[in-house]
Structure 1
Amino acid sequence: MRINTILSSIIVMFLVMASIGYADELPTYSELQKTLKDVVQEKNGGFSLNMWATIVDRDGVVKAVVFSGKERDDQWPGSRVISAQKANTANAFSLPALSLSTANLYSAVQPGGSLYGLQHSNPVDTNAAYGGPSKKIGTKNDPMVDKKIGGINVFGGGLALYNKKGKLIGAIGVSGDSSCADHNIAWKVRNKLQLDYVPAGVSPNKDDNIVYDIVKGVSASGWGHPACSPEAVEIAKGLPKTRVIQSKR
């Protein structure tokens, strides 16, 4: 009985340690894949399509590429690279004290916008994006893993990742549906991974949520994104709030 108690205590200790690390570091391939599959089953305001998701670290190096379908062609093949672009963009243009989602960048890069021309910078490394065996695409050994993909994407689906200490550790990019649904899915995945301790953002709620304030082609805030559907807009309003950064002691 005593041995069983000791073993149970050890197991609990390891589970606690694992859960602590889960919110501190980038997710593994398996964690990302499971979370994406779960979120895709929910209503997200799009076409209910299968998705791609890519994780990059703070240096922009791809760490995981997954898809939600059974096979790699169950989701738009072109969205694999788009998901990586979104992850790269959210990481490249977020800071330790300010997070910018790819959705936030849409209006800013239009002619006359504060970041016009940004979308033409940081081109995709085509060798990293399209090289390697096709059969490895979407596996733990996806050819993009451990490479810098580059690329800029300025519609919904890319979010920076902040651990419980508020440290910016990388970003996630999601693609495969409407850009509004992509954002909603990315947001839910980040929340479930407990990597949404966002310090500040440009939305009305001071986070990096998508902003729907475009009227007659003009965004009131300068950070607006087109509305894809009434359902997507309502879902965005009800997305989980970002977590509060734990105070330093």
Structure 2
Amino acid sequence: STAEHHAVLHSCEYLERFGFETTYVPVDGFGMVSPQAVADALTDRTVLVSVMLANNEVGTINPVAEVAAAVRERGKKLRRRIPVHTDAVQAANSLELSVQALGVDLLSLSSHKFYGPKGTGVLYIRGGTPLLALQSGGGQERQRRSGTENVAAIVGTAAALRLAQESRAEHSTLSRRLRDRIVEGVLTAVPAATLNGHRQRRLPNNAHFSFEGAESDDMLAALDKRGVAASAGSACTSAIWEPS
């Protein structure tokens, strides 16, 4: 979709340099992609679909299971299997990560998002999904990513993910209560405020606002003086001045 993380968007741009064609499916006013729009964009040349599970900025949760089902149905008509990938990096602390329920063929995670070691990630690959090796060499990681494994980081990631999923329900309940409190408070106190993202289908720990006529730098400075931690964008876009 057009609202993917730059980790996906820049990868698509890189592939375009080698002749690949990319179709960017637009999202609605909440930042959510339509399963039917994704299915309609598929052709007999489509080799992969990628839709993020939860947006890292506005917090909207995409209907990934419905997207995967729509892709499968469309794939039957096209007589081809089209793998579905979801970037679930932002969801590990808050959402259930059942690949069976989501129906995806590929799911990616980043360890630091659930307090695991930085520089380590997870890629789930459904059996039978075609995948080129990331790098060649000694054949480690089942011929997919050669090089000596960072065992300590791998074990740390697995332990952190297990703990995150075990505490997910409690964490989400508390976060949702605090999120709803700040959303109601801001929208009630500031008439010029707008909540971005979907009101219900959003991450429990996300509140994203726009304030008409206000400069973000001035607001952040004022909030900081009052002991309120806030940001005007994700850490991934901190060096970019344009609106995301």
> Which bracket does the TM-score occupy, shorter chain normalised?
under 0.3
TM-score, normalising length from structure 2?
A: 0.26
Instruction: Compare CA radii of gyration and give the structure with the larger one.
Output: 2
Higher relative contact order (CA 8 A, sep 6+): 1
